[in-house]
Chain A
Amino acid sequence: MSMEARTIIEFLQVLTLYTVCVCVAPYVVFHDLLREKCLAEKFILSVLIGNFYIINVVFIIFLLHIPGKGSLYLFTIVPAFVAWLRVNRPGVREYFAMLYTSLSRLFLGEAHFRTILGALLARPKKLLKDCFRSFFTHIRRHFLEWVMLLGLIGFNTYYYGYQTVTKYVFGASDLTVHQSWINNMDGGTIFCNGVYPFGFHNIIWFLHKFFGLRTLSILRVFGVVETLFIYMMIYLLLRKLCKSRYLPVFGVFLFTLPDLFDFQATMRYQWSLPQEFGMIFLYPCAFYLVQFFERKKEEIQTKKRLKQEDRLYAWMDQYHIMPSTRSLTFFAISFSLTLAAHFYITIIAFILCFAIAISYFPLVLHPKYFWSIALAGILSLFSAVAPMGVAFMQGVQPEGSLKWALSVIFPEEEKENITDTAGTGTSEQEAAPGTVSSEDGAEDETGTGNGPSGPENTETGDTSANNGSSFGNADVSDSPNTIWDKIKAIPGQIKYLPDKIVILAGKVKRRIIYINNAAASFLKGAYSYDELADYILAATEILAVFSLFMMFIRRKFYYRNLFSISLYTLILMVMYSAELLGLPAIMDLTRSRIFLAYATPLLSACLADAVYVVLCWPFRYHKTTELVPIGLTLTLAALTIVYDFIKPLNILYSLQLPGEMKCNYDIIENYPEKRWTVVTTTNSMQSLREKGWHMEICTFLGKMEDYNRHTTVTIPTKYVFFYIEKTPLDYGHDAYNLVTDKMANSGYVSETAASEQAVFGGSEVYFTENRYKLESKLYYWAKAFQQKFPEEFQVYYEDESFICYRIIQNEYQLYNFAVDYGFNS
């Protein structure tokens, strides 16, 4: 089977199984509770419950130190079954009673088998029939939405799956580290490198263990699966926020088809990464928080009314848990899931919730709201932190990337370049793309004396002082030193007050213009076109002003929601420009760019919806008014296609060559477990570790570097494979290339490179230059060795950039791989 076909099959497998686990299974278990909900809410609820359940089941079995297939099945199936029994108790009890009666009748000869069977199957048949009916009814009613949505999902599947299907490889260096952590879970160790949010890893491990899928296969395709869910969440939140039925599709369209965003804002969706996995739960936080406010308000009003009518208890009796509490519970679950997946998502979720809270000011401070939300927040944090806390108490130290996260927020505290995930050697900390903006800022500073601290200031090592003096402190040297001096100076300065006010007003004005210009300039890095940043900034401000204005005119939650989205986007923009504005950077640019981009469709759709609300208000938002958003979406889609404004295929990191991945699969599947060794770089190490052994090229070559006749290098497995990059990858720094291009490489291996002194250890051993030398050396080693063993040392796979050799050894008489290949003696 070709790798392309295999990847597609694996994608379908993973998509199906993940959907079954997080959508179908929770829906079946909580069928009775979800029956009344709309499809959107059913979906979100199932996804939240499913993920929350799986992540915590895996945590429990690991923290109880009973990881294994048996315990996984037991802890997954039994509680789910019990919950199903409890939730569907009346129906189940009724069914079993009927089963008992039927069987009794059968044995007593009172009924025929067919009659009994018919009676027993009637309920499942009805359920199925209802499901199909509701499904088709739904499709019929929302046909156009589904067509548009499926079209966009289809495009996204193609767009984000293209790399996996055509190149087969991991596109990000982080993946190997996450794979290593998951592999360690196979060995019974969770948090192997320290305490870290393991939600993503738990899900992958669950799919791997429960269904027997290979971790390698899941990791290759799960990125696309999670991205589809991420996109669905945009749609679902917009459905909650927008008046129009079709503008949510417009939002998804904006994030899907046109080339609006910087490639770095969307590239990570191609890969299976914890941060992106956590993004699934970001918008559900907003969904349920908004829903909570709505329901709570409704409940308070209802309570008030029923209290007056003296029917309060009769009304309350129908609820075991109040709907608003349920919303808050699911808000807590989604918030806790963000923390379980990645810290950054929690930061963004916090910003989102903060924006919503501001929008619902002063309602949010009302004790009935505030304490519920606070409690939900605390509980959600607790539920997410508890497994990590337990692990910490069991003696596991925090993982290195936590320190790195702190170093991003407080750069002066931690100068060390700690990678996102330990061991990758390639963190995504890159030079701020907004260098131009910084320069602008510096120029401005020279002109006004009030600019934010530039990079030069940071170099002095006294950043905090600079930060402190970044606004309006140009006259610091002239100002009085003590309070008494200040007091003494007041009378003398009063006469200059009007002038000072004028100067200050001018300063503020200049400042606002400057910030606006600077932010727009800085935001250019987030979008693919310079003008777009201006438009987005303007759109945000317009929406903020409009919704704020409307909030005062009409006290509707709708405008509060719009305001919350504009505020959320503004905060993200500030966060993105934090360095420029002299604020502490909570997040590095590459990451904040992703969230800013992810917020843009919300903003655009909300703005469009505001316009729609204003324009179509006289028409009372009839079906015909929906023609406006439909027309807008379709027209823009058509223009995008006609003018070829479609988002170009993204980039990927030069981590592996496609041939390497092909060989990985081939070897894993065709060779007996633990009977083979692959000599290669570390990039495939974790993929191979599942079934075989791995030896690093640097170790292998290092052993024979100073070759003499007594040098011995043996590998004690029957089969030994050697992966050689004929065009060594340009690995380590900015080794990105378009997915349609060849992997970034250093050119063909050469004798010159082989003859140069290479480094045989260290964290940068496989970085561009040294990799080129090592691969060149290995290439010439293989040529020399093949001369000695022409029949035994065979080419196993070869393409234009990669070659794999295989040798089958007599395990009782191992080959000595040390040979003089011309560059090692």
Chain B
Amino acid sequence: MKISRSNFAAISVTMIAILILFQFSNLSAIYASQAMKNANALPDVSITVNKTIQAPNLLSTSSYTTALIGSKSNWETMIAEEWCVYTKQPYYRFPSLDAFYGNISKNCKLLIVNSYVIDSSKDVNILARMAKRGVSIILTSLPDISTFRSYPKLMELTGIRKIEADSYYTNGMTVYEGFLLGGKTTYTDLKKSIPYFLLESGTKTYISASIKHQERKHIKNEELPPVLWRNYYENGFVFSVNYDFFQDHTGLGMLSAMLSETNSYNLYPIVDAQSVVCQNFPYLSNENSDRISQQYFYTSKAFCENVLWPDVVSILGATDDKFSGMIAPKMEYSSSAEISQDAISFYFKQAERITGELGISGDQMESRSFHEDKIKYDSKTFKQLAPDYIFTVFSPGSMPESAYEGYLKFYSKDSILSNIQTLILPKEHEHSPVLSFYNTKILAMSYICDGFSHTDEEDLYLRSIETALGYSAVSLDFSRVLYPSGKSDDWTTLSRDMARFLDTYWKSFRKAFEQVNISQADQKVRKFFTLDYSSYRRNDTISLSITNFDEEASFLLDLTDEKIVAVSGGTFIKAEKDKYVLHATAKNVTIEVTEDLTEN
């Protein structure tokens, strides 16, 4: 069989064309790559602290809606104050109930009280009078049992019928559906001794403790030790918290949830950002190779590039999470190992391909004295190897604030930290707020969870923060993988846990909230801090008016056995029964609601 010349020419041309077309896409990607530049780095920060609504803006002596009763330094009061800032509640802090009673605002709707301020019948009477006036009262913790015994009216106020036991060792607790986001959950590890009360009728329990051998003891569910409940007294609601939720930010979401229980609806702003941050990854050096090769038969560098990177990308791809990597150039700054250009090139390009974001980590495995050296070394190295890349996100990790604060505050132009806009702090770092401004320009956000572990306590914390802010930042610390200290640090185990946890515990939140990288989260938080709002309800219509509206704003709408039918000026996503995430696209939003008979 012969082939004609013309056919031969046509076939050849086609083959060449196909070859060029395939190669072209690759070549064009290489030539058009902006991997060595940070796409998220803005020339300047548009929203600084003075454009936002912070505590000083909300403090009001005469027209506050929320009164915080407790010492300024008290952790419970601080949490409540933080909550007021997030929910834009005009508030005022009073050291005692007496002080508050002398300066009652006519707008006051909510009283958040520390237990220790209740120490006289006068205090109890003030609380009773406030309840009678229709003010809702939240006791962030309960006074001693002796106080209850001394003041029976306090028992009446809180809806306690009987003190069954002064201290009872509980076997966990159950958070019931409709209170926090995430539905009904039973925590078997949250065991603790708490006072055991029996409640009156007219009370509603949101969290109750579980006890051992409940059936054998013939104890009904309604008689289980209550942990968080509501009582109706005269004209107001009194919420009592019989647990130390307010010792950290676990109480934050509970405040929002409790406020929701006082009204037919509760509409409050949220951040609407879910981030996953890989701390100390990408890792650019080749240290600890002996240990790594002993465990994985790879050098550290090869292990990171050939095992960790594909695994991380595939896990995050499966959950649709955005990649935010806090680069660890080196972990041992005393060693002479150098960072290779190849590693930088590899990770930066790979990160660009998955539209990830890279920041800088502050961790290192050596003594405290090396932190200063790290910043200098990193600054020098990146100036040489990636001079165009501007780092805007910094996760100090174990680096003490003293080591980096100078670089952040005094704007050292030569430093790698000179353009930092976002600081990601460890969870509950020195009692710092979940979201705050580090200085006028830099926003500080906290990690919410460790991606490699998920205890009951962490879960409750996560659900509470999600309820309050619609925000989470999961930390995946790869120093554990690179410097394993035992079997539990094996990547096989950790990757399985990471995939499992991300896929399970965030599933419901992922449906409701947006998955973003850290810079996007930063922008959302800034806008969240900027906006103010007011809302009212007339029959089945809720009207929302937003001030300082900047393109978008997110809110959480908590209803009671109702559902959204239509929204004008925004869109909505059903997070779960009665709870909706509202995305406002205009300053004025109207929400039509109707009765909801569905189960979920």
Residues of A within 8 A of B (CB): 670-672, 709-712, 714, 785, 787-789, 791-792, 794, 808, 810, 812-819
Contacts and interface: CB of A to CB of B under 8 A. Distances in A.
B205 A813 contact: yes
B220 to A, nearest CB: 8
Interface stretch (B171-179, B273-281, B454-462): B171-179
Contacts of B221: 812-814
Nearest to B201: A816
B263 interface: yes
A711 B201 contact: yes
Nearest to B207: A813
Q: Give chain A's interface secondary structure class.
A: loop
B2 to A, nearest CB: 50
B378 interface: no
5 closest residue pairs by CB, A with B: A816-B201, A788-B202, A788-B232, A791-B560, A813-B205
26 contacts: A670-B597, A672-B599, A709-B200, A710-B161, A787-B232, A788-B232, A789-B202, A789-B232, A791-B261, A791-B263, A791-B264, A791-B560, A792-B204, A792-B560, A794-B561, A810-B177, A812-B184, A813-B205, A813-B221, A813-B222, A814-B221, A816-B200, A816-B201, A816-B202, A816-B203, A817-B201
A142 B599 CA distance: 58
B208 interface: yes
Given A810-B177, A819-B202, A714 B560 contact: no
Contacts of A788: 201-202, 232
A812 B203 CA distance: 14
A814 B201 CA distance: 10
B263 A712 contact: no
Given A709-B161, A791-B264, 14 more contacts: A670-B597, A711-B201, A712-B201, A785-B202, A787-B232, A788-B201, A788-B202, A791-B261, A791-B560, A810-B176, A813-B205, A816-B203, A816-B222, A817-B201
Interface of B: 161, 174, 176-178, 184, 200-205, 208, 221-222, 232, 261, 263-264, 560-561, 597, 599
Contact of B178 (A672, A787, A810): A810
A710 B208 CA distance: 19
Contacts of A792: 204, 560
A66 B204 CA distance: 47
Contacts of A812: 174, 176, 184, 221
A290 B261 CA distance: 77
A710 B162 CA distance: 9
Contacts of B203: 816
A315 B263 CA distance: 91
B173 to A, nearest CB: 12
Contacts of A787: 232
B232 A815 contact: no
A712 B202 CA distance: 11
Contacts of B232: 787-789
A805 to B, nearest CB: 13
Contact of A815 (B184, B204, B560, B561): B204
A789 B177 CA distance: 17
A247 B599 CA distance: 62
A672 B203 CA distance: 26
A814 B222 CA distance: 6
Contacts of B264: 791
A810 B261 CA distance: 14
Q: Considering residues B161, B221, B599, which has the most beta carbons from chain A within 10 angstroms of its beta carbon?
A: B221
Q: Which of A709, A808, A812 has the most CB of B within 10 A?
A: A812
A787 B174 CA distance: 27
Contacts of B561: 794, 808
A792 B203 CA distance: 12
Nearest to A672: B599
A789 B262 CA distance: 9
Contacts of A814: 221-222
Contacts of B204: 789, 792, 813, 815
Nearest to B229: A813
Contacts of B263: 791
Nearest to B560: A791
Q: Which of A672, A787, A810, A814 has the most chain B CB atoms closer than 10 A to its own CB?
A: A810
A817 to B, nearest CB: 7
Contacts of B177: 810
A822 to B, nearest CB: 14
A813 B161 contact: no
